[in-house]
Amino acid sequence: MDAPQTPLEAPKTIGQGGRRVWLYPEWFRGRMLTWRTAAHWLLIVALLIGPWVDIGGHPATRIDIPGRRIHFWGLTLFATDGVYLLFLFGFVVFSVFLFTALFGRVWCGWACPQTVFLESLVRPIERWIEGSAAQRQKLDAAPWTAGKIGRKLAKYAAYLVIAGGVGTTFTAYFLGRAGTFEAQLHPSSHPAGTFTFLFITGLLLFDFAYFREQTCLVVCPYGRFQSALLDRNSLTVVYDAPRGEPRGKKGTAGAGDCVDCRRCVTVCPTGTDIRRGVTMECTQCMACIDACDDIMAKLHRPVGLIRVASENAIAKAPTRIVRPRVIAYAVGLVAVLVAFGITAAHHSEIELGLSRVVGTPYTTLPDGRIQNAMQLRISNKGEQPHEFTVEPVTSGMELLTPISPFAVKPGRVEHMPVYLLRAPADVRDRHETVRLRVRDEGEFSKEIDAQFLAPDPAGGSR
Ligand code: SF4
Ligand code: SF4
């Protein structure tokens, strides 16, 4: 794309000597804002209701650290299900890579919790209490009167309520409802929970009241590595420079379609000028599209001077959706989903593992029988307690189980001692695979193999 005509600039929020420049972005209702607000509110509801509604007797979402399990909308994962966290990590990484390569920073403007709460909850409240961008700027510059103090107090009180609500929900993700209220009402009973609640509430209040777009510009690493994921075929918010340049008032001879009204800049929540090209400051919120479309409509010119397109499309070159990086990210994503599907299809409420007790590989008993001491790991991921028994499947093998039946509570992983015994005459090899069957009091029955170690039947040493 032809280079924008302005030199590179620092972010608008950073002034001389690193001083913070406060922005007063204007609000403009357009089709992008309507879609974006709908998406934001869907996400706000999804983020906030998880710990407060139950599915199958558990909170829909909870990270239960003491119980070593995670509830996620009907799915319960235990500490032994760490592989699912790997799948989640792979899913997030490949999704971000793929969506960024295809659609630029759509995450930032449309789905990032910071943007979602700031743009669709905090700023509307600010506009409701303090008025339009011009009114807010005037209020900030005005001397402190009772009216100004009242408005500021009302605004910060509203922010505190939102921050406290989100902080409470965040804490409930970990402590559950009862634990969260306990931590809030009796801080000494749960210092970690109280600290989490106060920390998150304070952090959000700081973000809503002061830091705002600086989080995207200064703190968040994603904006910085996006340039490695984008190319000229990625769909991003772009200014059609060949059509818009040279800028000039309506009627100026030789001027392009951009009348340099700066509406696209005044609505931008990060203060960036999209006409400079794709920048780190652009969170792809698309407010500038609404603003510029409105200007174009008023001038009876085609809308879309700022639009979602690839840099190649703006340069009138073909846009390639399918390209090596997209294929690579898509293959990675599909591989993660397939692996997840296969693992989930074999997901069992009860998982078994057999391991040898560390130390002596075998013991010869006074009556001559060979004994192998093993541990049967039983993971009960269900909601009911179970009692397990073990029996030999391999002929000529005996089992000694000091605790039988062996009880395992829901959500617990226990180790059952099991002794395998064979008469020397039955031993065919020094390393022999033998088979056990594990049953519970119901219909569960599963066979599991073990390596039986014994002295060499031919009489040699081990
Ligand atoms: S809103 Fe459109 S016409 Fe106005 S300055 Fe921005 S790009 Fe140019
Ligand atoms: S340049 Fe446009 S899309 Fe980017 S952050 Fe500003 S208003 Fe949003």
Q: pLDDT tens digits for the chain (462 residues)?
A: 444 434 456 677 877 777 888 999 999 999 999 999 999 999 999 999 999 999 888 899 999 888 778 888 888 887 777 788 899 999 999 999 999 999 998 889 999 999 999 999 999 999 999 999 999 999 999 999 999 999 999 999 999 999 999 999 999 999 999 999 999 999 988 899 999 999 999 999 999 999 999 999 888 888 777 778 888 999 999 999 999 999 988 888 888 999 999 999 999 999 999 999 888 889 999 999 999 999 999 999 999 999 999 999 999 999 999 999 999 999 999 999 999 999 888 878 888 999 888 887 899 999 989 999 999 999 888 778 999 999 999 988 899 999 989 999 887 889 999 999 998 888 878 888 999 999 999 889 999 999 999 887 766 544
CATH number at residue 400: 2.60.40.10
Of 219, 243, 261, the residue at which a domain comes to its end is: 219
Nearest-atom number in ligand 1 for the CA of 257 is 3
Q: Is residue 245 a part of any domain in this protein?
A: no
Of 219, 244, 264, which residue is a domain's last?
219
Give the pTM. Answer: 0.80
The CA distance from 338 to 353, in Å, is 25
Specify if 113 maps to a domain. yes
**How many Cβ atoms from other residues are within 10 Å of residue 357's Cβ?**
14
How many separate domains does the chain show? 2
Instruction: State in Å: Cα 283 to ligand 2 middle.
Output: 6
The ligand whose atoms approach the alpha carbon of 23 most closely is 2
**Considering the domain boundaries, does residue 332 fall inside one?**
no
From 203, 219, 235, give the residue that closes a domain.
Answer: 219
Domain annotation covers residue 95? yes
Q: State residue 229's pLDDT score.
A: 86
Element containing residue 89 per DSSP (H, E): helix 82-103
* DSSP letter, residue 414: E
Helix, strand, coil percentages, rounded to 5, for the chain: 45, 20, 35
Tell me the CA distances in angstroms from 108 to 67, 76, 345, one per residue in order: 34, 30, 34
Which ligand sits nearest to residue 295's alpha carbon?
1
Nearest-atom number in ligand 2 for the CA of 283 is: 5
Query: 81 lies in a domain?
Result: yes
The angle, 0 to 180 degrees and rounded to 10, between the axes of the packed helices 123-130 and 146-185 is 140
pLDDT of the residue at 390: 96
SS3 236: strand
| Residues with Cβ within 8 Å of residue 259, at least 6 apart in sequence | 247, 248, 249, 250, 295, 299
Give, in order, the Cα–Cα distances in Å from 212 to each of 95, 117, 418.
Answer: 26, 10, 60
Asked if 453 and 362 touch (Cβ cutoff 8 Å), the reply is: yes
88 in a domain, yes or no? yes
Residue 418 lies in a domain: yes
Closest C-alpha to ligand 1, atom 8:
258
> What is the per-residue pLDDT for 67?
78
CA dihedral (242, 246, 251, 257) in degrees, to 10, reads 30
Whether residue 289 lies inside any domain: the answer is no
Q: Is the CB of 262 under 6 A from ligand 1?
A: yes
Query: Residue 58's domain spans which residues?
Result: 21-219
Pocket of ligand 2 from Cβ distances under 6 Å: 237, 267-270, 272, 274, 282-288
